[in-house]
A and B are shown apart, each in its own frame.
Chain A
Amino acid sequence: MTREPRAVVLKGIRKRFGDVTAVADVDLEIRPGELMVLVGPSGCGKSTLLRLIAGLEERDAGEVWIGDRCVDDVAPGGRDVAMVFQSYALYPHMTVAGNLGFGLRVRGADTAATEARVNEVAGVLGLRGLLSRRPGQLSGGQQQRVALGRAMVRDPGVFLFDEPLSNLDAALRLQTRDEIAALHRRLGTTMIFVTHDQVEALSLGQRVAVMDHGRVQQVGTPHEVYRRPANLFVAGFVGSPPMNRLPVVRDREGRLAGGPFVFPGASPHREATLGVRPEDLALAVVAPPDPGSNPDFTATALRVESLGSEQRIHLDGPGDAAWVARAPSALHVTAGDRVAVSVAWERTHLFGADGGRIGAASRPVRGSRP
C-alpha cells in the first residue's frame, strides 16, 4: 500500500430531508492517515454525513474536499473512497472472488491483474479458501471480511465504515474491532468510521467526533472527549455508566450551591450543572466510621451491580437524582448500607446553562457530615 493517505475536509456541510435537518453546517477536518470515528445517537446525522462524503447523498450546502480537490461534482465512484456498509451489501449472485473484484472489473481492469489483487487481499484477510463461495454460504464474520476486502481491493485514499460491526455478535465485534485497528496501522489509510457505540468509538478512534442533532458537538482524542467533554451532551453520551449530574444554582451570596454542596467564590452563572464520573467517587462504609476520612457526602446504597472486576453502586443522593459510583469489587457494600462518598474534585465538571463546560468544580466549602 504505497498510496499517499488523503485528508478529508468538510466545509459548512448542510443536508435536509424534507423538514428534517440531518446535517447542520458541519465543519470537520480529517487528517491524512487518521482514523476518525463519528459517534452519536441514532438519527444524529453521522451516517448521512458519511454518505455525503461518499457522494451517495446530494449536499444542500457546503463543500467536501478529499485530498486536494473539491469532489462536490464527482460521482461516488470517482471520489477515491471505499465504503463498508452495515449490512455488508455483498452481491449475493457473485462469488467472494466476484464481490472482491467487482470494483476493479467495472473500472475495466484486466482479468489477470484483478485476480492477482483479489488473491492478495484475500490472503491478508484470510479469505483464500472461501473465494469460490457465495455470500449466502458465509458466516456473518466472514461476510464482514469480504465487505472489508471489497473496500481494500481498490486501494482507495479513504475508507468509509458505516457501522460495520453492529451486525456481529459481541465476541466477534471485539475481534473485528481489533482487526480494523490493525488494518489501519498496516495500511496507514485515512479511515472514517461511523458508530453509535461510544466504547467502540473511544477504543478505535485516533480522534472522535461526537455528533448530535446534525451538529458536531466535540472533536478530539478519546482522552479529551472523555476527560474534558465540551458540553453536557458529550458528557452524558460518552462514558458508561453516564456521568452523574447535579443541578446547582447561585445562592444569595453569589455562590453556586446544590444538594449538600456550596462552592466557594462568587460565580457569574445563575445556574449550572455539576458532573462527576462514576469512577471519581470514592466510597467507604459508614459504620464503623473511619476516623481519618472526611467524606463529601453520605448516601444510601440502593442497588449493587457486581460486574466481576468492579461493582456499580447506585446511590440515593446527593441531590434528588440517583448517582452511580464505580467501586473495586473488594469493597463490601450491600443494598441499604450507608456509605460515605469522597469526590475527586479536580476531575469534576461544571456546565453552564447553555450546556457548555465552564471548568472543574472547586472543593465545596461545606459538605454534609456523616
Chain B
Amino acid sequence: MIPLVAAGAVAAATALILAVAADAPSGAREHRNREEARAAAALYELPGVAEADVVALLDGRARIVAPEAGGFGPGVHAYRAGALEPAAWIAVEPRGEGRSWPWAASLFALLGALGMAAWAGAQRLAPPRPRFPAAPALFCAVVFALVAVAAQQWARGELEAISASRLTGGLRAAEIAGASGADSEAAARVAGLPWASGAALDEPDRIWTMPREVGEAIAADARLRTAPRYTVAAGGAAYHGGSIVLPPDRPVRAGSPDDTLHLVFLGYEETASPAVALMASALGSALLVSLVLFLLPLAARPRALSRTLAAWAFLTPAAALLVVFTFGPLLFSLWISLHHWSLIDPAHPFAGLENYRALLSDGAWWSAVGNTAVFTLHVPLAMAVALSLALLTRESRRAVRWARLALFLPSITSVVAIAVVWKWLLNDGYGLANRALGAIGLGPVAWLSSPDVALVSLMVIGVWMVVGYQMVVFQAGLAAIPRVWYDAARVDGAGPWQRFRHVTLPGLRHTLFFVLVTSVIGSFQVFGLVYVMTEGGPLGATDVAVYHIYREAWEFLRFGNAAAMSWVLFGVVFAATWLHFRFLERRSAHA
C-alpha cells in the first residue's frame, strides 16, 4: 500500500512536469499557424497576386474557398480592396511536423521513480516511523528540479525551431509579395508581423513595438547588412532575423532609403517562457510528493490521518483564495516589474532591475511619492480630531449618539459619492464653499484648481472621511481603560491633563498604534478621491502614488514600470510600518 501510494505520487508529479513542458510549444505552434493564415490572406488581398502564389507559399497547405464555407484548421477571411464582404476564406492545414519527445527529462523522471520505488521497498522492510521523511523528500525535490531543467531545455529547443520556421515562412511571403510589385510596407504586412521594417532598423520609431533592448541589439549587429539569416539573443530569448532584397521594379515609396526588407521575428518569449511554468510545476510536484510522504506515516494511525486531512480540508478554501487572489497576483506583479511589459505588445522581454533604475530618475514619480507623503500628514491631524471627539462623546446621551452616527456616516459612504459631492461644494464658480465665503465678504478660493491649495483641500476631505471611523475605534479603546486607573490617578493628585497624559494615552497606546498604521497605509493607497476630483491635477499637484501607477499602467500601458512602482510603494509602506513598530516598541519599553 505505502510503496504504491508513494510511487503513484511520484508518477503523477513527473507527469505534471512533462505535461507542462509538452504544452509550452503548443501555444507557439498555434500562434504560428494563425500567422500563416493571416499572411496568406494578406497576400491574397494584394493586387496582382495569383491564387497559386498563396497556395505555393504554404506548400499546398492552404485552401481558398467561398467565404461562408469555412474549413479545416486555422483560417481567416480575405477582403478585396473596397469591398465590405469577404472575398474568400483561406484555411491553412496545420503543419504536420513530427514532434520530438523530452527524452532527457523522461530519463530523469524514470530515475526518480526508480529511486522512490527503492525507498518504498526499504520502507517495507523497516516500517516507517511517524515523522516527515526528509531524505526522500529532498531526493524528490532534486529529481523534479532535474526533470524541470531538462524539460525546459527541450521546450526551449522546440520554441526556437518554431520561431526559426516562422522567419522562413515570413521571408518567403515577403518575397512573393515583392515579386508581385508590392512596396516594402505591404511586403512587411504580408510577412505577417509588425517587427518587419522596410527601413533601417536603427530608426527608433520604426522599431517601436520591439523591446528597445532587442531592437538595439539587432540594429547594432554587424551581420544585419551582410548575412541573409541571423539570430540575436536578447532578453533571455533568441530572436531570428533575416533580410531579402525586394525586386528593383517595385513602386518605391517616397523617402524609403533602402530597398532591403529586414524581418525580425519574435523569440519564444512571446509565449510565456517555459522556465517559469516548469519551475512552478517542479515546485508544486515537490510539494505534492512531500505532502504524500508526510501523510504516509500517518496512514498507520487512521484517526490522526483523518484529523489532519479534515484540518487541511477546512484550510483549503481560504488558502486557495489567498493563493489565487493575493499571493499569486503579488508574485505576478513582481515578475512583471522585472520585464518590459506592454498590454498591446505580446513580447515581454526580461529587463532585470532596469524598471527600478528608471524610477530613480523619474521626477514625476518622486513628485507623486512626495504628494502622497504630504497627503499622509492628514493622518495625525485626523487622529487628534478623532480622539478629541471620542473624549467628548464618551457618555451615551441621545444627542451624543446622533452626533456619533453623523460623524461615522462618511466611513460607510462610497468614496466616489463623497468625491462628487465635495467636488461640487468646492467648485470655483458656483460651489457652496465659495458662495459662503462670498456671503461674508471673502474672495473665492480656488479649492481644486490651484496647485497650492488642491492637495490641502484633499487632505481636509481626507480628515473628514476617516474621523468617524477613528473615533469609533478610539471609543472602544477608551472603554477598555479601567476606571480604577483614573481613580488612582485622581487620588494621586493628577489633574485632567496629567490623567490624559499618563492614563488615557498609555491606555490607548495599542489603539493609537493600530489606527496610525492602518490610516497611514490607507493614506498611501489613496486613489478614489484623486481619480474623481482632480485626476492628479492641477499641474500634477495632487498626483499621488497609486494614481500615478494607475496612469502608468492603463494610460501609458507601461505595466513593467507600473509594477516596479507598486513594489517601491510597497517597500515604502512596509518600511514605514516597520519603523512604527520599532519606534513604538522602544517607546513602550522605556515609558
Contact = CB atoms under 8 A, between A and B. Distances in A.
Interface in A77-129: 77-78, 81-83, 85, 87, 89, 91-94, 98, 102-103, 106-107
A56 interface: yes
B100 interface: no
A258 interface: no
A76 B490 contact: yes
Nearest to A54: B491
A83 B487 CA distance: 9
A87 B502 contact: no
Central interface residue in A87, A106, A154, by most chain B CB within 10 Å: A106
A85 B488 contact: yes
A82 B488 CA distance: 9
A93 B492 CA distance: 17
A102 B503 CA distance: 11
A89 B484 contact: yes
B522 interface: no
Given A93-B591, A106-B498, A87 B491 contact: no
A106 B493 CA distance: 7
B373 to A, nearest CB: 30
B47 interface: no
Contacts of B591: 93-94, 98
Contacts of B502: 91, 102, 106
A67 B358 CA distance: 79
Nearest to B505: A93
A182 interface: no
B488 A89 contact: yes
A162 to B, nearest CB: 9
Interface string A150-184: 10001000001000000000000000000000000
A55 interface: yes
Contacts of A106: 489, 492-495, 498, 502
A81 B493 contact: no
Contacts of B484: 85, 87, 89
Nearest to A75: B490
B129 interface: no
A93 B487 CA distance: 17
Q: Which of B487, B502, B591 has the most C-beta atoms of chain A within 10 angstroms of its own C-beta?
A: B487
Contact of A93 (B490, B498, B509): B509
A154 B492 CA distance: 8
Given A102-B502, A106-B502, A89 B493 contact: no
B463 to A, nearest CB: 28
Interface residues of A, number: 26
A78 B491 contact: no
Interface in A129-157: 150, 154
B27 interface: no
B443 interface: no
Contacts of B491: 54-56, 76-77, 81-83, 160
A136 B503 CA distance: 16
Interface in B479-508: 482, 484-485, 487-495, 498, 502-503, 506-507
A78 B509 CA distance: 29
Contacts of B414: none
A232 B488 CA distance: 37
Contact of B485 (A78, A83, A89): A89
Contact of B506 (A56, A91, A160): A91
B413 interface: no
Contacts of B493: 75-78, 103, 106-107, 154
Given A106-B498, A106-B502, A91 B490 contact: no
B361 interface: no
B148 to A, nearest CB: 52
A87 B482 contact: yes
Nearest to A102: B492
B588 interface: yes
Contacts of B588: 93
A82 B509 CA distance: 27
B493 to A, nearest CB: 3
A68 B111 CA distance: 100
A44 B423 CA distance: 62
Nearest to A103: B492
Contacts of A78: 493
A56 B487 contact: yes
A78 B494 CA distance: 10
Contacts of B507: 93
Contacts of A93: 506-507, 509, 588, 591
Nearest to B590: A95
Contacts of A107: 493
A252 to B, nearest CB: 60
Residue among A55, A75, A76, A82 with the most chain B CB within 10 A?
A: A76
Nearest to B484: A89
A54 B509 CA distance: 29
A77 B488 contact: no
A75 B591 CA distance: 27
B495 to A, nearest CB: 8
B492 A85 contact: no
Max chain B Cβ within 10 angstroms of own Cβ: one of A55, A78, A91, A150: A91
- Residue of A82, A102, A107, A160 most packed against chain B (CB within 10 A): A102
Contacts of B503: 91
A92 B507 CA distance: 9
A187 to B, nearest CB: 18
A110 to B, nearest CB: 16
A150 B490 contact: no
A51 B483 CA distance: 13
Interface string B502-532: 1100110100000000000000000000000
A364 B460 CA distance: 90
A85 B488 CA distance: 8
A150 B492 contact: yes
A89 B484 CA distance: 6
Interface in B189-245: none
Contacts of A77: 490-495
B584 to A, nearest CB: 12
A65 to B, nearest CB: 18
Given A93-B506, A93-B509, A55 B482 contact: no
A107 B588 CA distance: 23
Interface in A280-320: none
Most buried by A among B484, B488, B498: B488
A348 B487 CA distance: 45
Interface string A213-226: 00000000000000
Contact of A89 (B482, B494, B495): B482
Contacts of B492: 77, 82, 102-103, 106, 150, 154
B485 A56 contact: no
Interface in B159-194: none
A85 B486 CA distance: 12
Nearest to B503: A91
A49 B54 CA distance: 108
A247 B491 CA distance: 48
A154 B488 CA distance: 13
Nearest to A154: B492
Nearest to A87: B484
Interface centre among B482, B493, B506 (most CB of A within 10 A): B493
Contacts of B498: 106
Contacts of A150: 488, 492
Q: Which 10 A-B pairs have the closest CB atoms?
A: A77-B493, A103-B492, A89-B488, A93-B506, A89-B484, A76-B490, A106-B494, A83-B491, A76-B491, A106-B498
Given A77-B490, A107-B493, 5 more contacts: A56-B487, A75-B493, A83-B487, A89-B488, A91-B502
29 contacts: A51-B487, A56-B487, A75-B490, A75-B493, A76-B490, A77-B493, A81-B491, A82-B491, A82-B492, A85-B487, A85-B488, A89-B482, A89-B487, A89-B488, A91-B485, A91-B502, A91-B503, A91-B506, A93-B506, A93-B588, A94-B506, A94-B591, A98-B591, A102-B489, A102-B502, A103-B492, A107-B493, A154-B493, A160-B491
